Amino acid sequence: MLGKESTIVIVGAGQGGLQAASSLRDEGYEGRLLLIGDECCSPYQRPPLSKGFLSGDFDAADVILELPEFFVQAEIQHLAGERVTSIDRPTRQLTLASGPAVAYDHLILATGSRNRMLPCQDLDLDGVLSLRTLDDAEALKDRMATAKHVVVVGAGFLGLEVASMAAVRGAEVLIVEATERTMERVVSPEVSQAFRRLHERNGVRFSFSSQVVAIHADAGRVSGVELQDGSRLSADLVLVAIGVVPNTDLAESAGLQVQNGIVVNPVLGTRDVAISAIGDCAAFPYAFDNGQCIRLESVQNAVDQGRCIAERLTGGHGRYDQVPTFWSEQASSRLQIAGVARRDDTAVVRGDPESDKFSVFRYRRGRLVCVESINSPADHMMGRRLLMNKCNPTPLKVAGVSCDLRQLLATA
């Protein structure tokens, strides 16, 4: 256990890093605590950046997670605008971009992820944007105020959320997606279809199974995109939202195992006992799928892993075993997901899939693995509980809307 004389350093002052820091204090850790992040402002949350921030409902002050006073009070040294450039494991030291070395007794990597870029993407081209940071969101919001023809590349959560905001603002919005449906990687065809319908009703158009092969410009400003079939679409704003890659460089150059994320064990530790990893950057054994290694990008995952590591470092068992949850808001509808499904998991619909309010229960080899709910928070909550308690209601029962899910939980 780490006592008064020890130093815990957290790299990455995002959702997970901040949670780990504040949970360490909540759990009674009394040693030195450093939170180092390369962004300049106070730690903030990202979800509103593609939602209420773009609509103007929230501003920058609304997304801040903790103000500077908090760090003083909790005795957390927050180094903002500071990048960690290397880890020397034998001497347990980090190097900062500004020069100095920092010693640690335990190191938590919470470096998050960064946006993937299109092969044809020119970073300097005016009007081609991506969205990850508060600065990105400010730039996007500015652009959206005047944009008339918006092309969103990628029909994942982020692209869809931004598309619905742009459509509300009256822009003509086209989403170009490489696969044949929305959110293809993570949700059932039924949910994909329902969201496609909701977006189309709002005037958003889709081009599925298509790829952007070139971005055209006029005097340094984006003028349109070209698809693989040669067709050209004019655009004054292009948002690239084709997923993220985990920030693993630090770990990799320190010789830690990296495979779609920094590989950790069930207690979120790397093979160096003095280093752990949490949040978007960590690939962890999934407790509900025989320890299959997965990496998730969600607030719940970052927060719960932050709490979990704080518990372990203060003497708790530290096994990470939470049911993953996720939410997204698009086209005035809410999607909530509990658990994790794979593409070929079967889908059992509860409710009317033609309506804007139903759930899909996903099964793998007869076991419930995930529940996707549209505008049905009660189903979502039940899904969470069923998964947590490893209950396995039969598809027949789940599909019968008259069947009370709460009873399934009680009798399972």
Ligand X SMILES: Cc1cc2nc3c(=O)[nH]c(=O)nc-3n(C[C@H](O)[C@H](O)[C@H](O)COP(=O)(O)OP(=O)(O)OC[C@H]3O[C@@H](n4cnc5c(N)ncnc54)[C@H](O)[C@@H]3O)c2cc1C
Contacting residues toward ligand X, per CB under 6 A: 11-17, 36-39, 46-47, 49-50, 83-84, 110-112, 131-132, 158, 247, 250, 279-281, 297-300, 302, 326-328
Give CA–CA dist 223/233, Å, rounded.
9
Q: How far apart are the first and last CA of the chain?
A: 39
Nearer to ligand X, 140 or 235 (CB): 140
CB of 360 to other proteins, least distance (A): 17
313 binds, among other proteins, ligand X, none (CB under 5 to 8 A by kind): none
Q: Which is nearer to ligand X, 177 or 280 (CB)?
A: 280
CB of 341 to other proteins, least distance (A): 20
Q: What angle do CA 14, 306, 60 make, to 5 degrees?
A: 25
Number of shown-chain residues binding other proteins (CB under 8 A): 27
Least Å from the CB of residue 296 to other proteins: 14
Task: Give the interface segment with other proteins, choosing from 33-41, 47-55, 207-215, 356-364 (CB under 8 A).
Answer: 47-55
Q: For other proteins, which residue of 13, 14, 20, 66 counts as binding (CB under 8 A)?
A: 66
Which of ligand X, other proteins, none interacts with 307 (beta carbon under 5 to 8 A by kind)?
A: other proteins
Tokens of 23: 């949970």
As a whole number of angstroms, the distance between CA 106 and CA 35 comes to 12
Q: Name the nearest CA neighbour of 371 among 186, 197, 196, 239.
A: 186
Q: Does 327 bind other proteins (CB under 8 A)?
A: yes
**Binding flag, residue 59, other proteins (CB under 8 A):** no
When CB distances are held under 5 to 8 angstroms depending on the partner's kind, the choice from ligand X, other proteins, none that residue 65 binds is: other proteins
Pick the closer one to other proteins by CB: 212 or 309: 309
* Residue 229 binding: pick among other proteins, ligand X, none (C-beta 5-8 Å cut-off by kind): none
Can residue 56 be called a binding residue for other proteins (CB under 8 A)?
Answer: no
- DSSP state string for 330-343: ETTEEEEEEE---T
Q: Which of 192, 182, 153, 150 is nearest to 167 (CA)?
A: 150
Separation of alpha carbons 332 and 370, rounded Å: 23
Helix, strand, or coil here: 191? Answer: helix
Asked if residues 308 and 26 have their Cβ atoms less than 8 Å apart, the reply is: no
In a 10 Å sphere around its CB, with 0-12 CB exposed, 13-18 middle and 19+ buried, how is residue 124 labelled? exposed
Identity of the residue, 270 or 328, whose beta carbon is nearer to other proteins in the bound complex:
328
On the CB side of 205, CA atoms within 13 Å amount to: 9
Neighbours of 73 (CB within 10 A): 11
Residue 334 touches which of other proteins, ligand X, none (CB < 5 to 8 A by kind)?
other proteins
Q: Which stretch binds other proteins (CB under 8 A): 59-67, 89-97, 139-147, 221-229?
A: 59-67
Distance (Å, rounded) from C-alpha 163 to C-alpha 237?
11
What SS3 class is residue 107?
A: strand
- The residues of the shown chain that bind other proteins, judged by CB under 8 A, are 45, 47-48, 52, 57-58, 62, 64-67, 70, 299-300, 303, 307, 325, 327, 329, 334, 336, 377-378, 380-381, 384, 406
